[in-house]
A and B are shown apart, each in its own frame.
Chain A
Amino acid sequence: MNLNCMGETPNQLALRGVLSEIARIPLWINSLASGYAIPDDVQLAINLCLEEVVSNVIRHGYCGEANRSVLIRFSNPRERYFVFTVEDEAPHFDPLIAPELPEISPRESIRIGGQGIRFLRRFTDALEYEPTPIGNRLSMGFSAGTSESPENA
């Protein structure tokens, strides 16, 4: 399956492998928000986590190969619970077993996406990873009950 062949639907967003595509994420989330009653604070958490995951894929997984794609799917399996699944074509990488980088120190430079794993664990209510034949699939669950979960901390 080539992600480039996936059609774009309201519940699915296909991004090219360039960082500027990240700007499309909040617009898409906003388009889902009214139809699915996603609260503002949850939208922000979703935006933050998707921005981190996608930027990490593009920077580290694709290493500047703009002809690659990242596919984000949305589902609403139950009331007030939203799942966003990111699929890519990058080398296998399981963020759930990756150690968190140390918090920013006075001498460390900040990298785009450098806080991704920490943000995922603190701003999602559920995380699920599986490798695919061509890359990775990461699912993130967000509950409208809270936008920051101690369970994933």
Chain B
Amino acid sequence: MAISTEDVTSGITKVIVGGRLDIDGAAALDLQMNVIAASQKAVLVDLRDVSYLGSMGLRSLVAPARAIKSRGGKMVLLGPNEFVGKVLKASGVDALIPVHYELQSALDALQ
């Protein structure tokens, strides 16, 4: 699981995730997202390089999204592949965290 962050523009933090969001990947993501969720208000999680998403990975996305929202912020997801998109849809997480397939629309949603 590869995770990196960058400040995009206008206070938006982009979290780039790569690999498998399984039990180990989720644990790694938790560490970074806990810090980000406590300090940032506009977060874009780039899932374009995520190959697998399970329940544990879902939790690593939903928990920070709720935390950010509780502080008046927003979080969006970018570019899940077909399988990851199906998992987000089947679990209903796509209704909680907006999913975008174009970078600009994801950034616009955070303005």
Contact = CB atoms under 8 A, between A and B. Distances in A.
A115 B87 CA distance: 10
B20 A26 contact: yes
A52 B55 contact: yes
A22 interface: yes
A41 B58 CA distance: 19
A88 interface: no
B24 A23 contact: yes
A47 interface: yes
Contacts of B86: 122-123, 148
> What is the size category of the interface that chain B forms with chain A?
20 to 34
Contacts of B59: 110-112
B54 A110 contact: no
B82 interface: yes
Contact of B91 (A23, A47, A112, A115): A115
A110 to B, nearest CB: 4
Interface in A98-122: 103-106, 110-116, 118-119, 122
Contacts of A111: 55, 59
A23 B52 CA distance: 13
Contacts of A114: 55
Given A44-B83, A122-B90, A110 B52 contact: no
Interface of B: 20, 22-24, 51-52, 54-56, 58-59, 62-63, 66, 82-83, 86-87, 90-93, 95-96
20 contacts: A20-B23, A26-B20, A41-B83, A44-B52, A44-B83, A47-B22, A48-B52, A48-B87, A103-B95, A104-B62, A106-B96, A110-B59, A110-B62, A111-B55, A111-B59, A115-B58, A115-B90, A115-B91, A118-B90, A119-B87
